[in-house]
Each structure stands twice: as C-alpha cells, then as structure tokens.
Amino acid sequence: MKMTEQLFAELSMLNEVEAIALGGSRAGENYDESSDYDVYLYCTAPIPEQARRELLEKYCSYMEIGNHYWEYEDNCTLNNGIDIDILYRNLDDFANGIAEVVEQFQAHNGYTTCMWHNLKTCKIIYDKQGRLEKVKKRFDVPYPEELRENIITQNMNLLNNAMPAYSHQIEKAVLRGDRVSVLHRTTAFLESYFDILFAVNRLTHPGEKRLVGLCKKNCSILPEHFEENLNRLFDDMGRDVVNVREDVRMIVDELNKLF
C-alpha cells in the first residue's frame, strides 16, 4: 500500500471524519509523481490538533498544524518530499455555500463557482454514510442561466460600469503614481474578468492557477485578442504602469463585444 493510501486509511478511522476527497490535479489524470496533494476532510466535529499531529508525523517530514489563512488546514510535506494540504470542512456548511450559488444564484466578486467546481471534480476516497456522494449528485446539474446572468452583471459592473468599478480605480491609481494600488486593483479586475469568461461559457471556475491556458483550452467563447491583450497588460504592469489604463480599456472593449 502506498504511503498516501495508508495515510488516508488512518484518517478515515478518526471518529470525526465522515468523508475524504482528493482535489486538484491528483483528482484527475493530469498529474505526475511530484504533484502536490489537496485533501479535503469532511468532519462532524473538530479533530484535536494533538491527534492530527501524532498521526501526521508518521508520514510527514514537515508540518504546519492548524493554519487558518484561508480554510482551516494542515500544510505538510510528506516523507517523500511531496507537499500535502489537508483541509477540514463541515459537509453541511460546504453544501449550503454551494446551494447559495447553484440554487439561489448568488454571484460573488470573482471566483463565484470555485467551490462548485471543487465538488464536481473531486475524487471521493472515503464516504462513511455516502453523504458526500449525495451532495455531488445534488449539484450535478446544468449551469443555471440565472446564475450566469447574475455573475456577468455583477462582475461587469465591477469591471467598468459602476462608480467604484476597478477600471476607474486603476485610472486614478495610475494618475497619482500609486503602483501598489495599480497592482492591487488590477488583480481584482482580473478576478472579475475571469469569473465572467467562465460564466459566459457556462463553465465552473477552476481556481486561480493556469487560467489563461484553461480558457484557451476549454472556453469556446473568448474575446478577440484574448491572450495578446492580457500579455500586454502583464508587461506594462511590470514596466510602465501609465499604459495599464489603455490596456484595461482594450480588455473591457473586447469583452463587451461578446454581449
């Protein structure tokens, strides 16, 4: 039995654990032996840190127990040198969050459908009562048109249409020579931009990595000069932020042509 299989087997024996899922590249076919592990433990109650530490130290050469920068998680390096992130979730809370998006059509400021994507693409390793599989089936539905429209409307407003739109904030930051603000607002601009693109194509949002490549591979609808305009923006962000205003305008103009 592989080390990770032994680890998963031990985790599944903890009373608090009702399901274990594998996410990221390891959940699919596009991974190699050096790929990191993203592991999701769905728990009925908190697992004491000491119990986790004693279990993980048998398999890990380095451990950071109880990090809470995003979700609550243990970030570790396995004895074979591969990193593993173990995230602890309550299944009901997780399902309720996805329901707000998929069934109540609530749009976010970027990354709206990321958790739905996480659920749809995860590989179930252990499911004591079959509850995680039931949640997967519940949300195995076509992309809701009302959700699509809400994501596009909200994030287009944030891009350029509303008074506090990112494009306006970027222009003000450029004019006052505030490079930190330019970078900060441009990052937020891109979060909404990609949220719109995945919604336009009725695709769940895969997260923050390899977005340009994933759009080119999976999106049948993309703005003209999609990659070219993004590369120009990226170059100017590091070279001449004065041009970022025009780069953003070009991106918004091409995006508007889709509607």
- Are residues 172 and 132 both part of a single domain? no
- Are residues 242 and 209 both part of a single domain? yes
Distance CA 112, CA 173 (A): 26
Q: Which residue is associated with the tokens 């769940």?
A: 204
- Are residues 134 and 155 both part of a single domain? no
**pLDDT for residue 30:** 60
Determine what percent of the chain is predicted with pLDDT higher than 90.
Answer: 89
Q: Which long-range contacts (CB under 8 A, 24 or more apart) does 232-235 make?
A: 233/186
Residues 6+ apart with CB under 8 A from 31: 24, 25
Instruction: Write down which residue in 109, 138, 167 finishes a domain.
Output: 138
Give how many domains the chain has, as a whole number: 2
Residues 6+ apart with CB under 8 A from 51: 14
Model pLDDT for residues 15-63, shown as the tens digit of each residue: 999 999 999 877 665 666 768 999 999 999 999 999 999 999 999 999 9
CB neighbour burial string for 45-70, b if at least 16 within 10 angstroms, e if fewer: eebeeeebeebbeebbeebebeeeee
Residue among 95, 124, 128 at smallest CA distance from 23: 124
- Are residues 134 and 175 both part of a single domain? no
For residue 188, what are its two tokens? 């937020």
- Are residues 63 and 152 both part of a single domain? no
Distance CA 59, CA 56 (A): 5
Instruction: Write down which residue in 138, 156, 190 finishes a domain.
Output: 138
Please give the full DSSP string across 104-156, using - where no structure is assigned.
T----SS-TTHHHHHHHH-EEEEETTSHHHHHHHHT--PPPHHHHHHHHHHHH
Where the chain has pLDDT below 70, the residues are: 1, 27-32, 34
- Are residues 112 and 206 both part of a single domain? no
Global confidence as pTM: 0.93
Cβ-contact 85, 38 below 8 angstroms: yes
- Are residues 107 and 209 both part of a single domain? no
**pLDDT for residue 29:** 57
- Are residues 11 and 69 both part of a single domain? yes
Q: Which residue is associated with the tokens 């243990």?
A: 74
Cβ-contact 132, 124 below 8 angstroms: yes
Domain holding 19, by residue range, is 3-138
- Are residues 113 and 176 both part of a single domain? no
Cβ-contact 174, 247 below 8 angstroms: no
